[in-house]
């Protein structure tokens, strides 16, 4: 879907003289060098690599359009210091996630809700949701990031940290007055995300190579998880009618605009 949809043009051009509407339409048919308004796009994940792997193509498209794109994750903490040992798994994982975000040209900001909860049934602190955590995350997302559009995990997911990210984000969205578009993204559908059904697709064929490069940066996961995501995005591409696509579920009570890229 292009950055400016026909529908959005028609909305924006209501009331314009005919020639003005025509010029808006003509502009939309050429490349958009600068966005009319710089959007704050936030993708909330459980782990430092989730936004990049679940919505990386879409986020990169927004970034290339000149929008401010943040991958915000519950875990990971501050970037490793210069003395950190990259042979330590957690350090390597964090550095890999940073590299993947850099390839996609998006900012990665990791909260420090836990030391990580990498097991299905191990109750790590990232998956804890208390009243206080709902409050602090809501305030953080709404007051610091002031998002215009938000992505997060689908709530039915194998991983507790993904579920926590989804519920925290949903609660913040409710507190916002449902004022920004809320899209759910998928991770390893069938394996992690379950019972997911797409309502929207983004053709990421133009980002096929860049997203693959970002995946290659994730050295701990590339061999085992990339094939799942590659299959998923090709399947979504087939559904969308293009080579590769990312699929999302749009909360129907959230606004349709700003639109997907
Ligand atoms: Zn994850």
C-alpha torsion sign, points 13, 18, 22, 24: negative
The residue-averaged pLDDT of 30-49 equals 84
- Judge whether residue 22 has pLDDT over 60: no
* 68 token code pair: 């401010």
What is the model's pLDDT at position 8? 41
Ligand 1 midpoint to CA 50 (Å): 5
The residue-averaged pLDDT of 227-235 equals 97
Which one, of 185, 187, 213, lies nearest residue 100 by Cα?
A: 213
Residues 43 and 104: their CA atoms lie apart, in Å, by 13
Band of pLDDT at residue 36, cut at 50, 70 and 90? confident
* 208 token code pair: 């096929």
Domain boundaries of the chain, sorted by first residue: 1-33, 35-250
Phi, then psi, of 175 in degrees rounded to 5:
-65, -25
* 36 token code pair: 């009319």
What is the model's pLDDT at position 164? 94
- Judge whether residue 20 has pLDDT over 90: no
The residue-averaged pLDDT of 143-164 equals 96
- CATH fit for domain 35-250, picks 1.10.10.10, 3.30.460.10, 3.40.640.10, 3.40.50.10320: 3.40.50.10320
List of residues 6+ apart from 112 with CB closer than 8 A: 75, 76, 77, 78
Ligand 1 midpoint to CA 51 (Å): 9
Distances (CA, A) of 189 to 42, 79, 148, 193, 209: 21, 29, 26, 5, 21
Q: Are 157 and 218 in contact (CB under 8 A)?
A: no
This prediction's pTM: 0.85
Ligand 1 midpoint to CA 42 (Å): 16
Ligand 1 midpoint to CA 46 (Å): 5
Ligand 1 midpoint to CA 236 (Å): 20
User: How far from the centroid of its chain's Cα atoms is residue 182's Cα?
Assistant: 10
Ligand 1 midpoint to CA 25 (Å): 40
Ligand 1 midpoint to CA 68 (Å): 22
Ligand 1 midpoint to CA 149 (Å): 21
List of residues 6+ apart from 179 with CB closer than 8 A: 255
Residues 210 and 2: their CA atoms lie apart, in Å, by 18
């Amino acid at each position: 879907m292009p950055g400016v949809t026909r529908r959005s043009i028609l909305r924006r051009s209501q009331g314009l003289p005919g020639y003005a509407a025509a010029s808006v339409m003509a502009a939309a048919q050429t490349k958009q060098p600068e966005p009319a308004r710089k959007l704050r796009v936030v993708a909330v994940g459980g782990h430092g690599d989730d936004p990049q792997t679940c919505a990386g193509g879409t986020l990169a498209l927004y970034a290339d359009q000149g929008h401010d794109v943040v991958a915000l994750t519950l875990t990971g903490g501050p970037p490793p210091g210069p003395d950190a040992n990259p042979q330590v798994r957690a350090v390597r994982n964090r550095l890999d996630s940073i590299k993947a975000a850099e390839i996609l040209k998006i900012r990665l900001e990791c909260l420090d809700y836990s030391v990580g909860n990498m097991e299905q049934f191990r109750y790590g602190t990232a998956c804890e949701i208390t009243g206080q955590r709902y409050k602090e995350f809501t305030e953080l997302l709404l007051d610091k990031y002031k998002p215009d559009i938000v992505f997060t995990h689908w709530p039915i997911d194998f991983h507790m940290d993904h579920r926590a990210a989804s519920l925290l984000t949903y609660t913040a969205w409710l507190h916002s007055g449902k004022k920004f578009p809320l899209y759910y993204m998928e991770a390893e559908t069938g394996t992690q995300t379950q019972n997911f059904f797409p309502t929207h697709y983004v053709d990421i064929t133009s980002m096929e190579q860049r997203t693959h490069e970002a995946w290659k940066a994730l050295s701990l996961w590339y061999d085992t998880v990339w094939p799942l995501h590659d299959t998923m995005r090709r399947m979504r591409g087939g559904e969308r009618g293009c080579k590769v696509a990312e699929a999302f579920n749009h909360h129907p009570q959230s606004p349709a605009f700003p639109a997907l890229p």
